[in-house]
Copies of this chain bind each other. A is one copy, B any other.
Amino acid sequence: MPVTLQDVADAAGFSVPTVSRVLSHSTYPVSETARLRIEETAKQLGYTPNLAARSLRTERTGVVGVLVDDIVSPFAPLLVRGIQDVLTHSDYTCLIINSDWNPDLETSAIHGLLQRPVDGIIFAEYSHLAHNERLEQSGKPHVFAHRLFSRPIANSVVPDDFGGARLAVQHLVGLGHSAIGYINGIAGWHSAEQRKQGFLYEMAAQGLAVRSEWIEQSMDWEIEGGYAAMQRMLALPEPPTALFAANDLIALGAIYAVQDAGLRVPQDVAIVGYDNRDLARFVRPRLTTVEMPVYEMGQAAAELLLQQIHGAAPSEESRILGRLYVRESTGAPVEARTQEDRLTATDERRRLLNRNPES
């Protein structure tokens, strides 16, 4: 049987409200003697508050709903982790729901979250419903992370794909390249367009010509599409000496195409990807890439939500720029892991595991 306030009150010789005032960290004035006695006995009895009862009174639950496409998808875990790390600091926990890229599921998930005792909702999905009636009626604080809209939306956090693409070009130019090609992702996708625009913008800013045949279109976001697109580019009389690809898998496909043509990466073609997925550190050559800053986006979204919960006015869309990770595919020495690779918080955490082989 769990210990209640009543139990503590009886044992300490005070009334329930007084005990509550002490144990709920209320700002209400309580005598020092009482406070000490009560804290002492609460500890001794092993009191833990019943959060359901507290929620019923306060209409706060300390729980935030997080809607992801699929926790298994490449970006979701790190995004969630960013959210958690911020929320934990404020004593919130989060309920994670998958919408599986399915609008119907998403709608029912929203309704579920609205009735469930959550103080706010974070939409950590790539696409879908920009608008939901019940959600807006409910007045529940909510923010959007990673969701791409055609135009800026309040309380949302998005990646700066335009700026990221510029970083990639700057890096290649810094290495001395001027003949730089680009393989885009699926046409019409917001991130594909943004990255392409960033590429074109920075090429112009660097005073470099962009030949139309150096811009290719991949049929997908996968290795296969990148492979085929790079094959076409290599068949040109004068292929570029460097390539920026719209994501890591396309870049990897391009690398394979270069290798199959009997050429080498980075010596014959230097290649930069986008996203900094895990595989970038495992393939050969290790892939230079622009990070999709999901962790930071999660943090930003959580902070935004906390502000909303505390009654702040809706804020502007915030864009977050990822960093460039320089690795072998653009000529970093084989032995050198980038410093960032070493210092990832997650890597550090995992490393700890090596000291704890078995319980």
Contact = CB atoms under 8 A, between A and B. Distances in A.
A55 interface: yes
A95 interface: yes
A236 interface: no
B77 A356 contact: no
Nearest to A256: B284
B97 A220 contact: no
Copies in the complex: 2
Nearest to A47: B115
Given A49-B115, A52-B56, A72 B61 contact: no
Q: How large is the interface on A (under 10, 10 to 19, 20 to 34, 35 or more residues)?
A: 35 or more
A70 B358 contact: no
Contact of A72 (B53, B77, B130): B77
B354 A220 contact: yes
Contact of A353 (B69, B249, B358): B69
Interface in A325-359: 346, 349-350, 352-354, 356-359
7 contacts: A51-B117, A93-B97, A100-B349, A148-B359, A149-B359, A150-B358, A256-B284
Given A62-B116, A84-B96, A189-B357, 20 more contacts: A48-B111, A50-B56, A50-B117, A51-B116, A51-B117, A52-B52, A52-B61, A56-B56, A69-B349, A70-B350, A72-B77, A100-B349, A101-B356, A127-B358, A148-B359, A188-B357, A188-B358, A223-B282, A252-B282, A278-B279
